[in-house]
Structure 1
Amino acid sequence: MTALTLTQGDITRVSADAIVNAANSSLLGGGGVDGAIHRRGGPAILADCRRLRAGHYGKGLPTGQAVATTAGELDARWVIHTVGPRYSQQEDRSELLASCYRASLRVADELGARTVAFPAVSAGIYGWPMDDAARIAVETVRSTRTAVEEVRFVLFDERSHEAFAARLRTTSRDSRT
């Protein structure tokens, strides 16, 4: 069974086999977590992303999918890039967000990663409400079959940490009843 843990802080300073990047579809860096990972990880990550864009992902990485690159200067072996959906009140995109977590775990399994650090995908600039992002993340990771031994949610601030902590408490109670 996969252990789920929480850390409040900067995902670029976490030690894990794989760090998940809440990427944009271009794979060429951006703001938020994406920009931070590219800056701290150095040019090797961007070089790998450019190779991906020159090959199979010429039009970019589709929403809900995941792909791995080197981790460059990060304290990890790999970065798993996934593109979360933008939140919409008019359209339920929950399945696309859940797909980000499942696809990232599938890539982690293919790589042989045993520890994976996730940010709150889509909960930043893409506008997903934090409580719902936490619900989808925790429920999806808990229900996905994986060889990953530990999933660590690395949450930037106290509000997001508390949303994930509340969801973990709720799902722990639900699984005991």
Structure 2
Amino acid sequence: MTRIIAVRGDITEQQVDAIVNAANNAMRGGGGVDGAIHRAGGPEILRECIARFPDGLATGDAGWTTAGDLPARWVIHTVGPNFAAGERDRSLLVSCYRGSLQVADELGVRSVAFPLISAGVYAWPKADAIGAAVETLAAADTAVAEVRIVAFDPATYAQVADAVAAAVAR
């Protein structure tokens, strides 16, 4: 069974096998979590994104690259739906979590750290972003032993921790 935990902190500092990047379709770096991962991981991540994803990734899809200078071994990139731009199909958000775990299983990952996909600049309503993450991760059929949902700010961390506790209690 996969253990899901809420963590308050910086996803780029997580000591896990893989971290998940909330990427954009172009796969060339960006703002928010994407920018932080590219800055902390160094140019090797971008080089590999260009080589592995010359046409980018579709919304809801996931793929992997090296983690460069990050403490993780891999970065699993996934493209969340942009709620602010009208992409409001929740199944695309759920697909990000499922697809990321599928990639993790292909890589033999035992621990993975997720951000709240689409909850930042893409403006997915935070409560639903948390619900989609926790529900999907809790129901996943995966060999990953530990999943962390990393929240940067205290208020979001409290919401994630409450949702994880409620899911574990079921």
TM-score bracket for the superposition, by shorter chain length: over 0.9
Q: Which runs of 5 or more residues in structure 2 are unaligned?
A: none
Determine the C-alpha separation between the residues in 2 that align with 1:120 and 1:67: 17
Aligned mates of 1:92, 1:127 — CA distance in 2: 10
Compared CA separation, residues 14 and 90, structure 1 to 2 (3 A): closer
Higher alpha-carbon Rg:
1
Relative to structure 1, the CA distance from residue 88 to residue 28 in structure 2 (aligned partners, 3 Å threshold; closer, same or farther) is closer
What is the SS of the residue equivalent to 1:151? strand
- Which of the numbers 148, 163, 168 marks the counterpart of 2:164? 168
Hey, what does 2:49 align to over in structure 1?
49
Q: CA deviation at 1:131?
A: 1.1
Matched position secondary structure for 2:5: strand
Q: 5+ unaligned residues in a row in structure 1: which ranges?
A: none
Q: Which residue does 2:27 correspond to in 1?
A: 27
8 A Cα contact 1:86 1:122, kept in partner: yes
- Report the equivalent of 2:18: 18
Does 2:68 match 1:76?
Answer: no
User: How many percent identity over aligned positions?
Assistant: 55
Q: Tell me the residue number matched to 1:122.
A: 118
State the AA in 1 paired with 2:10: D
| Partners of 1:149 and 1:118 in 2: CA distance | 14
Q: Please tell me the residue identity of whatever aligns with 1:32.
A: G
CA distance in 1, matches of 2:85, 2:31: 23
* Structure 1 contact 66–104 (Cα < 8 Å) conserved: yes
| 1:119 positional shift | 0.3
Q: Using the alignment, how far apart are the partners of 1:33 and 1:91 within structure 2?
A: 19
Contact 1:69–1:80 under 8 Å retained in 2: yes
Which deviates more, 80-89 or 23-32?
80-89
Contact 2:6–2:164 (Cα < 8 Å) also in 1: no
Residue in structure 1 matching 2:132, options 132, 136, 156: 136
SS in 2 for 1:81: strand
Return the alpha-carbon distance in structure 2 between the equivalents of residues 169 and 154 of structure 1: 15
How well do the aligned residues superpose, as a CA RMSD in angstroms? 1.4
Q: 1:167 Cα deviation (Å)?
A: 1.1
Matched AA of 1:30: G
For the 8 Å contact 1:130–1:163, the answer to whether it is kept is no
Q: Which residue of 2 aligns with 1:102?
A: 98
Q: Distance in 2 between matches of 1:91 and 1:73?
A: 33
